[in-house]
Amino acid sequence: MSQFVDEDETTPLLRDDPRSNDFQDDNYKSRWRSIRVMYFTMFLSSVGFTIVITSLWPYLQKIDDSANATFLGWVVAAYSLGQMVASPLFGLWSNHRPRREPLVCSILINLSANIYYAYAYLPRTHNKYHILMSRAFVGFGAGNVAVVRSYVAGATSLKERTNAMANMSACQALGFILGPALQAGLTFIGELGYTLAVIDLKLNMYTAPALLATIFGVINILLVVLVLREHRVNDDGQHIQAVNYVSEDQVSITEDSEENIDRVAAVTSNILFFIVMFIFAVFETIATPLSMDMFAWTRKEAVFYNGIIICCIGFESILVFLVVKVASQRVGDRPVLLAGLAIIFCGFFVLLPWGNYYPKIQWADLKNNSLISQTSSNGTLEPTGCPYEQTWCQYTPVIYLAQYISSDFLIGVGYPACNVMSYTLYSKILGPKPQGVYMGWLTASGSGARTLGPVFVSHVYTLLGPRWAFALICIMVAAAIVLLSAVYHRLIAFSVRYGRAID
């Protein structure tokens, strides 16, 4: 068993393994070049989501005055909804045709949607709906994640697969980190930016990230067309043409495993994963409007500072991944998951407003007809503070910057721990049976959470304020802790439940 783990941990990410018997084999080199293209595709899928997430709210406000925080929730949810719809379609397509076809098609949809987003200011009316549609199409194009995962699973042996999937997750995490960082780096262009009259384009801090994502998409298409090759190997790493049958032994294992799976534990794992993804979707959606309302930041300041904060959280998450791996080996998966939920609870509890100081309101000085504002990058007055339309601003205490940073830190610790452990526990509970369908349910629950989370928080925050929004999240996390505690004894590996050796 130790030999299996050692070999698995040396699976190459950016170079070939010189100890492999087929190191010089052309198929081996071509196979890993193709897998690396899949890594890059997964990376770009994450970048496509996060590269505009911190500027989405100020961009909406700038091009359409009728957009409010409630509509922002729908815009953020549109990405996940599009991805949820597209994933099974592209996955089905890849089962019957070369994977290059759905990949190129999905990337073309993605880069076209980013161009659409950059031109969303152009129509004279209903600009917010154009942003909504563009983000839905970006998410639809990101449905190629299903193709990427199926390709890597089919192109790796059992010894290679675990680490290959880990490498792919690392690329996905890197995309979540670099997306906000790229957005923050592009704020130097400013809101006014430059006008390219030939193509009627305003290149500014809001449109530049989407256009950069478009350039990445072109590079991705070239790699898919020129480098990607169809590879499929069996469990021993030997190339095969296709696998369109299931042996009798496989059928018996599948049926036996189907009967023995603890369905209560499996459903509980799905619920816990849904809650974890829901909470993080709430966090990333509310960050920009919350900071603008509470700290009277301008649009540019909110994009820049939140981009830095999310980038820091990403690096923090990488450190947490390393710690969690060691901690789970020493104390087990369930205690780490429970501790992660407790830390998330503390993160949102810290955000609850208290004290006697209230946020600055945009139209507070009505007697003098003076607008509390700051000068934006293009020299015009930009209202800052909590909008007077949100009546809760008048009686809800302000959230201090120290609370906000402390919450970011705690959630940056709890979320990655819960994410990894819920996924790991679920996989162990399922046991030896093929996990494709069950993993599809887990993915669907995550996409559903990322769709509902932004809608929930935008509505509650706009109508009732942060006190209600974060109190409800605390109740949800507490319910998750109670649920985990209630079924704690059942969340164990399949092999442990039936007395099979696992070491």
CA dist., res. 376 & res. 244, Å (int):
61
pLDDT by residue (tens digit) across 273-296?
Answer: 899 989 888 887 888 889 989 998
> pTM score > 0.95 for this model?
no
The whole-angstrom separation of Cα 304 and Cα 308 is 6
Average pLDDT of the residues in 221-236: 80
Q: Which pair of structure tokens corresponds to residue 485? A: 């505690």
The pLDDT of residue 37 is above 60: yes
CA dihedral for 470, 473, 477, 478, sign (positive or negative) = positive
| DSSP state letters, 348-416 | HHHTS--SS--PPBTT-BTTTTB--EEE-TTSSEEE-SB-TTSGGGGTSPPPPHHHHHHHHHHHHHHHH
d(CA 31, CA 262): 37
Considering 58-72, 231-245, 285-299, the range whose residues carry the highest mean pLDDT is: 285-299
Say what the pLDDT of residue 472 is.
93
pLDDT (tens digit, 9 = 90+) per residue, 383-423?
Answer: 788 888 888 988 899 999 999 999 999 998 998 888 777 76
Using DSSP, state whether 201 is helix, strand or coil: strand
Q: What rounded mean pLDDT belongs to the chain? A: 78
Question: Tokens standing for 122?
Answer: 């152009």
What is the chain's length? 503
pLDDT digits (tens, 9 = 90+) for 138-161: 988 888 877 887 777 677 765 665
Using pLDDT thresholds of 50, 70 and 90, give the confidence band for residue 249.
very low
Q: What is the mean pLDDT of residues 175-191?
A: 82
pLDDT at 370 over 70: no
What per-residue confidence (pLDDT) applies to 75?
A: 87
CA distances from 52 to 80, 117, 195, 230 (A): 14, 10, 20, 33
For the stretch 114-130, pLDDT in tens is 999 999 888 888 888 99
- E strand or H helix that includes residue 203: strand 201-203
pLDDT at position 4 is: 41
Residue with more model confidence, 497 or 435? 497
Is 67 or 8 the better-scoring residue by pLDDT? 67
Q: Give the pLDDT confidence score for residue 166 in this predicted structure.
A: 59
Instruction: Compute the average pLDDT of residues 359-370.
Output: 59
CA distance 104 to 217: 10
Q: How confident is the model at residue 206 (pLDDT cuts 50, 70, 90)?
A: confident
DSSP labels, 206-263: TTHHHHHHHHHHHHHHHHHHHT-----B-TTS-B-S------HHHHHHHHHHHHHS-H
| Average pLDDT for 162-183 | 73
Across residues 254-259, what is the average pLDDT? 43
pLDDT of residue 67: 82
The answer, yes or no, to whether residue 14 has pLDDT greater than 60, is: no
Give the pLDDT score at 436: 46
- Poorest-confidence range of 11-20, 234-243, 376-385? 11-20
Neighbours of 278 (CB within 10 A): 25
Query: 311, 80, 99, 116: which is closest to 213 by C-alpha?
Result: 116
Residue 245 has pLDDT above 70, yes or no: no
pLDDT band at 253 (very low <50, low <70, confident <90, very high): very low
Whether the per-residue pLDDT at 343 is higher than 90: the answer is yes
Of residues 482 and 302, more confidently modeled: 482
CA dist., res. 309 & res. 257, Å (int):
44
Helix (H) or strand (E) holding 202: strand 201-203
Beta bridge partners of 373: 383
User: In order of start, what are the domains of the chain with their CATH numbers?
Assistant: 2-357+400-497 (1.20.1250.20)
What pLDDT shows up at residue 431? 57
